[in-house]
Structures are given as structure tokens and as C-alpha cells.
């Protein structure tokens, strides 16, 4: 078993959900759901079955694909903040330009090799 990726965001009051139909097409698991219990102020969850990617973990999730989803949500004028993490740790990190750069640089240097070396 591994950690699944969690992508959550806070929608502005009266805001329109970001258009993620490109990512949902043909996949019943990639859907946006309202968050019932908010820990960080998040209002919505982009439900998916992708593995988490991050330094200090197996580094096996599809970071370029996850990043494209995160960036699409972030660029929406209706979204205030975006968080990302794994579903087993209970901790989500706010996605900032700096944090995205850190994870992306780790991806460039390592890809999925840490997981495949096991």
C-alpha cells in the first residue's frame, strides 16, 4: 500500500469551480467534492487515485500530472489557496510558488528513481 495524493483548495465566496474537465475526462475518480471537515480552511477536494509524490517518501506518484492539476486550480481567479499532501500523514502543505519549485526540482533530479531502486 502507498499514500494517495490529496489536493484540496479554498474557493472564494461565490466563486466558480475551476474547470478540471480535462483531467476528469474518462476517469470517474477524478472529481471535485466539497470538504465536510476542514482542517486548513479548504472547501473542496480534487478526489483522485494517484499516488503521492514528495521527497522523503517513495517518490512514485506522477508529479508532472499532479503539478498540472495543482497549477490549473491555482490559476483560477475563484481559488484562494491550494494544499497538497498524502492521505496517510494527515498533513497538507500549502502550495506556494516556492514549494512547487522545491518539489519540481526534486522531480528533475530524481524522478521516480527512489521508488524503483527499492
Domain boundaries, the chain: 5-116
Please tell me the pTM assigned to this model: 0.87
Residue-wise pLDDT for 21-51, tens only, equals 766 555 555 688 999 888 899 999 998 888 8
Contacts of 114 (CB under 8 A, 6+ apart): 58, 59
Q: Compute the half-sphere exposure of residue 96: CA atoms within 13 Å on the CB side of its CA.
A: 4
- The bridge status of strand 92-94 relative to strand 79-86 is antiparallel
Residue-wise pLDDT for 5-15, tens only, equals 999 999 999 99
Task: Report how far apart, in Å, the C-alpha atoms of 23 and of each of 1, 35, 61, 108 are.
Answer: 24, 20, 16, 23
Task: Report how far apart, in Å, the C-alpha atoms of 84 and of each of 19, 112, 118 are.
Answer: 18, 18, 25
Amino acid at each position: 500500500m502507498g499514500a494517495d495524493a490529496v489536493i484540496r483548495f479554498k474557493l472564494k465566496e461565490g466563486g466558480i469551480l475551476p474547470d478540471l474537465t480535462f483531467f476528469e475526462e474518462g476517469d470517474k475518480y477524478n472529481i471535485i467534492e466539497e470538504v465536510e471537515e476542514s482542517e486548513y480552511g479548504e472547501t473542496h477536494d480534487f478526489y483522485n487515485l494517484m499516488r503521492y509524490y514528495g521527497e522523503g517518501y517513495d517518490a512514485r506518484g506522477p508529479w508532472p500530472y499532479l503539478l498540472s492539476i495543482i497549477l490549473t486550480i491555482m490559476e483560477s481567479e475563484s481559488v484562494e489557496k491550494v494544499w497538497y499532501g498524502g492521505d496517510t500523514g494527515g498533513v497538507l502543505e500549502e502550495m506556494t510558488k516556492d514549494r512547487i519549485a522545491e518539489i519540481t526540482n526534486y522531480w528533475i533530479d530524481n524522478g521516480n528513481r527512489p521508488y524503483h531502486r527499492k
